[in-house]
Amino acid sequence: MREYLKFYIDGAWVDPITPRSADVINPATEAVAGQISLGSAADVDLAVTAARRAFAGWSITSREERLDILQAIQAEYARRQSEIADAIIEEMGAPASLAHGFHVGLGAGHLQTAIEVLKDFPFEEVRGPTLIRREPIGVCALITPWNWPMNQTCVKIFPALAAGCTMILKPPQLAPFSAQILAEILHTAGVPAGVFNMVQGSGSVIGTALSTHQDVDMVSFTGSEGVGVQISKDAADTVKRVGLELGGKSAVIVLDDAALAENVSGATAGMMGNSGQTCSAGSRLLVPAARMEEAIAAARAAADGVTVGDPKGNVAMGPVVSKAQYNIIQDYIRKGLDEGAQLVAGGLGRPDGIDKGWFVKPTVFVTTNDTVIGREEIFGPVLVIIGYDDVDHAIAIANDSNFGLAGYVNGLDTELVHSVARRMRTGWVSMNGGFDFHAPFGGYKRSGNGREWGEFGFHEYLEVKSMLGYAA
């Protein structure tokens, strides 16, 4: 059993000021997998003080010094990548193939991207008589979710480090193990004392203490809309910058062509990845109404083909993260049935043959865009299929949402795919499976503000200074 009872503050592993611990549950077995300490506002004060003190030196380091640190982290991350994956399997139930693949690969990708961007990032430029400088914003609070532990953590830490900021990481209480290993990696790589700090605990305590702290200059949060709104309110009194990456109800528009069945199948299987616990998941599948039966058949076959079980085995889908999340998803499935949605695959309860762990059946409904399951983020392996009359109708349905995080367009006509993508009101559109670590990621509307990934992720952690008369 893992015991992570110390916090990382000012370059050392320290005991919490007031000892208090919590169990971490393995969602596949419902057994206790380990313990973490729960921090307090006093622990946050220590971490912020260390970060503020370290900022004076780290903020004026050279590009080369920061690159040396990031490359040292990269070498250590590669050495311990398998350990991180094993921790992710244990803490949030990701299947082994996904944990050892995309989960740790996303962290490595964001680290490599930060290195690439830093090499040529224009921290200074002359415009006429004025020098424009981009300077580190200061002490940053990084608050991350449990669903993609390395992705959401690394996409914040590495750009912040590269920009010259210092930071306090608040990892997710449900999935804290991988963050602990990452903190050990940063320590071994030689990140200077106080530049990176980590305090474990509950969001209501640690997140609030960070958001309201007068010496925190910026908060970067990924998680639910409700918590993001509260963080914004808490941060308002100190007028700190707040970057939010929140929820989604992203549409997959499958165009009416010969690849429809293949694209429906791929979108269905993709939705079930990570047990549907992805903010950018394509949870609304829009298909031509005239070909609905063909789409249903393809979706049913894909959903029924998703293997569910022990994440340490050769399966496509493990459990959802917790009993609470399981119950939320079951309530949504029940609501779909009560609303009269057509159940295509899955449904209530655990998959056949599984009687322990928070496993959900890969579930597909046919419904309309005005239902609860058609509009609200379920955050589980539940896909809704919605029919459209023509391309204009498909775009109207896709944009008829409170969210605007991601979108997907799949079809054989490249020009049409591009046209549809341009009209979708989302911050990130993948066309026929496109992916790019350098592409900015973030949302419109209630999906948040700001952008992460690549060069745009650096701007989150930088202030802009004008030096007038520089070239006079």
pLDDT digits 0-9 by tens, 70-111: 999 999 999 999 999 999 999 999 999 999 999 999 999 999
Question: What percent helix, strand, coil does the chain show, rounded to 5?
Answer: 40, 20, 35
Q: Where are the domains of the chain?
A: 2-246+447-467, 251-437
Q: Known catalytic residue: 245?
A: yes
Q: What is the pLDDT of residue 430?
A: 98
Length of the chain, in residues: 472
Q: What is the pLDDT of residue 472?
A: 76
Helix (H, G, I), strand (E, B) or coil at 448: strand
Compute how many other C-beta atoms are within 10 angstroms of the C-beta atom of residue 48: 23
Q: What are phi and psi of 196, to 5 degrees?
A: -120, 130
CA dihedral angle for residue 371, residue 261, residue 432, residue 445, rounded to 10 degrees: 0
Count CA within 13 A, CB hemisphere, residue 68: 8
Please give the helix or strand (H or E) that residue 63 lies within, else none: helix 63-92
CATH topology of domain 251-437: Aldehyde Dehydrogenase; Chain A, domain 2 (3.40.309)
Q: What is the pLDDT of residue 28?
A: 98
CB 131 within 8 A of CB 471: yes
Residues 6 or more apart from 180 whose CB is under 8 A from it? 2, 4, 36, 87, 171, 198
Please give the helix or strand (H or E) that residue 42 lies within, else none: helix 41-58
CB 427 within 8 A of CB 404: yes
CA dihedral angle for residue 169, residue 173, residue 174, residue 175, rounded to 10 degrees: 30
Please give the helix or strand (H or E) that residue 368 lies within, else none: none
What distance lies between CA 142 and its chain's CA centroid? 12
Instruction: Take residue 437 and report the two structure tokens written for it.
Output: 């670590």
- This prediction has a pTM of 0.97
Helix (H, G, I), strand (E, B) or coil at 255: coil
Bridge partners of 449, per DSSP, are 244
Compute how many other C-beta atoms are within 10 angstroms of the C-beta atom of residue 331: 13
Residue by residue, pLDDT tens for the chain (472 residues) are: 999 999 999 999 999 999 999 999 999 999 999 999 999 999 999 999 999 999 999 999 999 999 999 999 999 999 999 999 999 999 999 999 999 999 999 999 999 999 999 999 999 999 999 999 999 999 999 999 999 999 999 999 999 999 999 999 999 999 999 999 999 999 999 999 999 999 999 999 999 999 999 999 999 999 999 999 999 999 999 999 999 999 999 999 999 999 999 999 999 999 999 999 999 999 999 999 999 999 999 999 999 999 999 999 999 999 999 999 999 999 999 999 999 999 999 999 999 999 999 999 999 999 999 999 999 999 999 999 999 999 999 999 999 999 999 999 999 999 999 999 999 999 999 999 999 999 999 999 999 999 999 999 999 999 999 999 999 7
Question: 360-415, pLDDT tens digit by residue?
Answer: 999 999 999 999 999 999 999 999 999 999 999 999 999 999 999 999 999 999 99
Instruction: Take residue 151 and report the two structure tokens written for it.
Output: 């992705």
Bridge partners of 222, per DSSP, are 245
**Nearest by Cα to 369 from 346, 389, 345:** 389
> CATH number of the domain at 2-246+447-467, please?
3.40.605.10
CA pair distance 130, 135, nearest whole angstrom: 15
Q: What is the largest CA-CA distance in the chain?
A: 77
Residues 6 or more apart from 414 whose CB is under 8 A from it? none
CA pair distance 142, 221, nearest whole angstrom: 6
Marked catalytic residue, from 90, 91, 245, 377: 245
